[in-house]
Structure formats: structure tokens, C-alpha cells
């Protein structure tokens, strides 16, 4: 399994709008691509969020990154041109317990 994580550090005044956008528009649109088997949206503080996208294979993630990510990122940037700092990482599961 491959996990693609995006952490959002949001200006406090935008936090509610960003969370709403992520939950009701952005993440459902990404899930509809069929590239991910599960997506989790989490909150660490009032203005720090993390989205974890779980793909079965590296090919699934690559398909998302090549075919869908540019449009999804442009859409998000159009909605929130400032006030959100993003970091992205890809994690490859080595082993799991339980």
C-alpha cells in the first residue's frame, strides 16, 4: 500500500472555509477518480489538517498524479490563492502489525 499525505497549515481566519471545502468538495472529487481506496481527513489543531490518501499500488498513485492532480491543485489554488501552506509526502508501507 502507498500513502500520499498532504498537510495543510492554514491561516486561522481561513480554517473553517478550508475544512469545509476539503470535506465537501475537494476530497470527494479526488475519491471519485478511483485512484484511492481510502482517504482520511484529520485535524491536529484549529488550523492544521492532514489528508491521507491510500492507494493500492504505486501505479494508482502515479495515475492520480499524472492525470488528476494538476487540475485538483489548480482548483484548490483558485479557491485559496493565499493563506494555506501545503507539504506533500509519499509513504511506502514496509510492514504493519495488528
| This prediction's pTM | 0.92
pLDDT of residue 42: 98
Residue 72 included in any domain? yes
Which residues form the domain of 77? 2-92
- Residue 16 belongs to a domain with what CATH number? 3.30.70.100
**11-58 pLDDT per residue, tens:** 999 999 999 999 999 999 999 999 999 999 999 999 999 999 999 999
If you average pLDDT over residues 76-89, what whole number do you get? Answer: 98
- Our count of domains for the chain comes to 1
Place of cell 468538495: 25
pLDDT of residue 93: 86
- Predicted confidence (pLDDT) at residue 88 exceeds the cutoff of 90: yes
Q: Is residue 73 part of a domain?
A: yes
Percentage of the chain surpassing pLDDT 90? Answer: 94
Q: Is residue 98 part of a domain?
A: no
97 in any annotated domain:
no
CA distances to 15, 20, 31 from 3, in Å:
24, 23, 14
Amino acid at each position: 500500500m502507498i500513502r500520499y499525505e498532504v498537510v495543510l497549515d492554514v491561516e486561522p481566519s481561513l480554517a473553517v472555509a478550508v475544512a469545509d471545502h476539503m470535506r465537501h468538495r475537494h476530497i470527494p472529487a479526488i475519491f471519485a477518480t478511483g485512484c484511492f481506496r481510502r482517504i482520511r481527513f484529520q485535524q491536529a489543531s484549529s488550523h492544521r489538517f492532514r489528508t491521507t490518501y491510500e492507494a493500492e499500488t504505486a501505479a494508482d498513485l502515479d495515475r492520480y498524479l499524472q492525470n488528476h492532480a494538476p487540475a485538483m491543485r489548480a482548483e484548490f489554488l483558485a479557491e485559496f490563492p493565499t493563506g494555506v501552506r501545503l507539504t506533500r509526502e509519499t509513504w511506502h508501507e514496509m510492514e504493519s502489525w495488528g
